[in-house]
Structure 1
Amino acid sequence: MKQPDETVLCILNVPFTTYTENEVIARCTDYAMDQKPHVVITAGPEFVMHAQRDPTLLPLLEGADLITPDGIGIVLAARFHGHSDLERVTGVALAEKLLAQSAARNFRVFLLGASPESNEKALNAVRALYPELVVSGRNGYFDATELPSILEQIRNFEPHILLVGLGQPRQERFIWEHRDALSVPLMIGVGGTIDILAGTVKRAPALFQRMHLEWLYRLLTDPKRWRRQLALPQFAYLAYQERLRKGS
Structure 2
Amino acid sequence: MQKDRRSVTVMDIDFVNRTQYQFLVEDIFPALQHKEKKFIVTANPEIVMKAQEDDAFKKVIYEADYTVPDGIGIILAAKLLETPLEERIAGFDLALDLLNYADEHGLSCYFLGAKEEVNEKAVKRVQADYPNIHIAGRHNGYFDIGDRDLAEEIAATAPDIVLVAAGFPKQEKWIAAYKDLFDHGVFMGVGGTFDILAGEAKRAPEIWVKLNLEWFYRLLQQPKVRFKRTLKLFGFMRDIIKNKKRYK
TM-score, normalisation: structure 1: 0.91
Residue 104 of structure 2 corresponds to residue 104 of structure 1: yes
SS of corresponding position for 1:203: coil
Partners of 2:205 and 2:159 in 1: CA distance: 32
**Please, which moves more after superposition, 68-77 or 56-65?**
56-65
Aligned to 1:233: 234
The answer to whether the 8 A contact 1:164-1:171 is kept is: yes
Deviation of 1:62 (Å): 1.9
Corresponding residue for residue 217 of structure 2: 217
Distance in 1 (alpha carbons) for counterparts of 2:176 and 2:145: 16
- Deviation track 1:69-94 (CA, whole Å, cap 9, x = no partner) reads 00011111111233445211011000
SS at 2:87 equivalent: coil
Q: CA deviation at 1:38?
A: 1.5
Equivalent positions of 1:184-203 (< 5 A) are: 184-203=184-203
Letter in 1 for 2:7: V
Name the counterpart of 2:11.
Answer: 12
The match for 1:158 is 158
Kept in 2, the 8 Å contact 1:78–1:86? The answer is no
Task: Look up the SS of the partner of 1:141 in the other structure.
Answer: coil
Q: Deviations over 1:27-67 (max 9, x none)?
A: 11222234442111000001011011111123222221110
Instruction: State the shift of 1:225 in Å.
Output: 2.4
Amino acid at match of 2:49: M
Q: How does 1:61-100 map to 2 (within 5 A)?
A: 61-84=61-84, 86-100=86-100
Kept in 2, the 8 Å contact 1:81–1:243? The answer is: yes
**1:141 counterpart letter in structure 2:** Y
Match of 2:20 in 1: 21
Unaligned runs of 5+ in 2: none
Three-state SS of the structure 2 residue aligned to 1:40 is: strand
Q: What is the distance in 1 between the residues matched to 2:149 and 2:178?
A: 13
- Bigger drift between 87-96 and 233-242 goes to 233-242
* 1:105-159 CA-partner distances (Å, limit 9, x unpaired): 12111111111111111111111111111123211112368x2442133122210
Contact 1:60 1:176 in 2 (8 A): yes
Separation of aligned partners in 2, 1:238 and 1:202: 31
How much is the aligned-residue C-alpha RMSD, in angstroms?
1.8
Deviates more, 1:227-236 or 1:182-191: 182-191
Q: Structure 1 regions of 5+ residues with no counterpart? A: none
